[in-house]
Amino acid sequence: MSLTTDRLEMGPVAGSASAHSGTALADPSAPLSGVPYAGLPDPGLPAPRPRIGLATRRSRRDRLAELAAQKTAAGAGWAIVVILAGVLVFLLVQGWPALAAGADDLPAHASDFWTLAGPLAFGSLWASALALSLAAPIAIAVALAITQYAPRRLRTALGGAIDLLAAVPSVVYGLWGLMTVAPLLARVYPWLTAHLGWLPFFAGQPSASGRTILTAAIILALMVVPIMAAVCREVFVRAPASSAEAAYALGATRWETIRLAVLPFARSGIISGAMLGLGRALGETMAVAMVLSPTPFLVTFHLVESSNPNTVAAFIAQTFPEAHGLETSALIALGLILFALTFAVNAAARRVAARAAGK
């Protein structure tokens, strides 16, 4: 059956092709760049070239469009590299002097640059890790709820609501965290130290203001959830229906189907989403700067005490307005540290995601 239809379809196609090149084929003496519609007034456009089968060159317009697309894409690609290099050079040149600076010139009277940078880098990583470990399960659950459990009509609305969370400015999260969440948590923290104080994380004297690293991490988590949930939703939706049917046909329940057919497929996507979220948490400045009540040079894993480590981004934002000379250099060098941290996290994430995808 298919053979005959193929031949039938071939007919008109071949016919139309010869009709295109008709001028040239039918009359070999016709000039190659002739005007085919000699009777019509010349509209002022370049004369169409006669088409001679496959050997026809693409039109000038096509070639220009192709060239433009290629160059624009390549230009955009290179622009990223140039901007990245520019930022790196700026950070290196401006920050370099601070590496050799002493106590008199550095912010917070740090004895040397690394004494300053170390605890801040720790603070950034610790707060982000906390935020991610709070956000990841919620984001995955939210994405599963929307893609697998919610009634069809609710899915779009729920998805939109989550996306809206991502659009809330971080300063709003900061205000809300400072004025509502922190006082609320301040009432919970004593209970945590009393009952979970045997865990080193909850040891010590609970903060009265609630402006601790855990509060900051919770606010960060709220900001990470929408990003991660959006990525997870995309990959969950794309999980092949055939695998889900296979699971159902084996007698899997809804949750077992998700475990067998959806999550394994989505693993690399989940990791990518988590890393995007981690990137956001590492770089987040405003919300942390507003919520957290930091203590200089502190490195601690305690979550609910009134003395807390600060993060790089928040420290830069808090100190920059009054910085001058080498202090400014030191802040820029801190920026370089943050840049390197984020870069390392991204690189690691790529490797993990690639490995998960390859399996």
Partner 1 sequence: MSELAITGFSASYGSFRAVADVGLTIAARAVTAFIGPSGCGKSTLLRSINRLHETVPGATVSGTVTLGGEDLYGRAVDPVEVRRRVGMVFQRPNPFPGLSIRDNVLAGVKLRRHRLAKAAADNLVEVSLRAANLWDEVKDRLGKSGTSLSGGQQQRLCIARAIAVEPAVLLMDEPCSALDPLSTLAIEDLMASLRQDYTVVIVTHNMQQAARISDATAFFSTDGPRQPGRLIEYGPTTTIFSRPAEQATADYIAGRFG
Chain residues in the site for partner 1 (CB under 8 A): 152, 240, 242-243, 245-253, 256, 260-261, 264-265, 267, 359
Integer-rounded Cα radius of gyration of the chain = 31
Q: Choose between 7 and 152: whose C-beta lies nearer to partner 1.
A: 152
Q: Choose between 270 and 288: whose C-beta lies nearer to partner 1.
A: 270
Angle between helices 213-237 and 113-144 (to 10 degrees): 40
CA-based nearest residue to 292, from 308, 316, 281: 308
Q: Does an H or E element contain 69, and which?
A: helix 60-95
Q: Choose between 68 and 250: whose C-beta lies nearer to partner 1.
A: 250
In angstroms, the CA 232 to CA 269 distance is: 6
CB of 295 to partner 1, least distance (A): 45
Angle between helices 152-167 and 213-237 (to 10 degrees): 140
CB of 265 to partner 1, least distance (A): 5
CB of 140 to partner 1, least distance (A): 16
The dihedral region occupied by 109, where left means phi > 0, alpha psi between -120 and 50, and beta the remainder, is left
CB of 18 to partner 1, least distance (A): 35
Q: Choose between 187 and 238: whose C-beta lies nearer to partner 1.
A: 238
In angstroms, the CA 120 to CA 69 distance is: 44
In angstroms, the CA 347 to CA 359 distance is: 19
Q: Choose between 62 and 245: whose C-beta lies nearer to partner 1.
A: 245
In angstroms, the CA 218 to CA 159 distance is: 21
CB of 349 to partner 1, least distance (A): 19
- Number of Cβ within 10 Å of residue 227's Cβ equals 23
CB of 236 to partner 1, least distance (A): 13
Q: Choose between 5 and 29: whose C-beta lies nearer to partner 1.
A: 5
Q: Choose between 33 and 253: whose C-beta lies nearer to partner 1.
A: 253
In angstroms, the CA 318 to CA 337 distance is: 17
CB of 325 to partner 1, least distance (A): 56
